[in-house]
Amino acid sequence: MIEKEEEFIDVEAGGENSELFEHFRIVVDKGQAQLRVDLFLMNRIENISRNKIQQTAKAGNILVNSKVVKSNYRIKPGDLITVVFTYPPRIVEIFPENIPLEIVYEDKYLLVVNKQPDLVVHPGHGNFTGTLLHALMYHFEKTGQTIENKHGYLVHRIDKDTSGLLLVAKDELSQTRLAKQFFDHTIERRYHALVWGGFEEDNGTITGHIGRSVRDRKVMAVYEDGTYGREAVTHYTVLQRFGYVTLVECKLETGRTHQIRVHFKHIGHPLFNDTWYGGDTIIKGTTFTKYKQFIENCFKILPRQALHAKSLGFVHPITNKKMHFESELPADFKQVVDKWEVYTSSRETE
């Protein structure tokens, strides 16, 4: 018996929080003869090379009965095999482009980028140039680095219009080990989001399976009964209250496509100016003309969803050192938060 679980979406649909891996769960048949696990997987999984399987085993991503095994382990009937493979996006030919990047950390195995808004992570339908991977190829060539695939190995993605920290591996082994951390939910990711409406509580948790909307395949939806989609959990903490909107910090327990955006939409608090999930209209507030103008000005300053990947924590795939990075809100996001602070204080003094 073989079960497959994967997370992959095209760049046209965004990519927020989506990991680039696929997970297989296989129970060895009763009549199966003893065989090396790498050969067994080659026979069971389509379009997979022995080298890819051995690399996956070297990274510790092949487990039998919940224990990491080497590629030469001989399987037995009844064994439960779980495998996490890295799953590269469908990438067209890439050439270097001189696109400014803010690299907050780099060593010979990986780098962390503070991605600016309006930058697509990798090429896809309608976005064949001007992506993060084009910029990385230019960076590697300019700095004299020899990277096997020339543009680095993606571990996860964030949306074009979401700013913040993004992790990129420089070799396949590092990518595979980091992918396992994402699969095990040991990667720490915190986001700051400005959402519509107020909250009585200071903390909360949003749950509900996330899957493609049956009405619009470009967006995601929450399915509370769990009959469709994949389990998703978002924890949030209120940072600042502005009456009609709230600044929150979100901690991801899972990493589903558009998780934060669709979860907050589901509970009636869509992200400020999120055009895909209904946050680009006035949801809370007064009917005064001045208020409408204030919101329109905020939308002009921040012409995207108010979401920023604030912090990122992980274990280094080679040195096993704990790594943690923080980033400041970008100028457009911070300016809107500042405007809401002034607006709220002026209302309190009236």
By annotation, the residues acting in catalysis are 159
H helices, E strands: number in the chain: 7, 17
Residue 41: phi, psi to the nearest 5? -70, -35
Q: How far is 290 from 210, CA to CA, in rounded Å? A: 38
Q: How far is 163 from 45, CA to CA, in rounded Å? A: 36
Residue 206: phi, psi to the nearest 5? -110, 130
Lookup: tokens for 195:
């959402």
Q: How far is 217 from 202, CA to CA, in rounded Å? A: 34
How far is it between the farthest Cα atoms of the chain? 81
| AA identity, residue 172 | E
Q: Which residue has tokens 């195995």?
A: 109
Report the first-to-last Cα separation within the chain, whole angstroms.
Answer: 68
Residue 9: phi, psi to the nearest 5? -140, 160
Q: How far is 9 from 234, CA to CA, in rounded Å? A: 20
Task: Assess contact for 31 and 14: CB atoms under 8 A.
Answer: no
Lookup: tokens for 197:
């409406």
Among 108, 96, 233, smallest CA distance to 170 is for 108
Q: How far is 175 from 334, CA to CA, in rounded Å? A: 33
Q: How far is 259 from 273, CA to CA, in rounded Å? A: 16
Q: How far is 3 from 240, CA to CA, in rounded Å? A: 44
Residue 324: phi, psi to the nearest 5? -145, 135
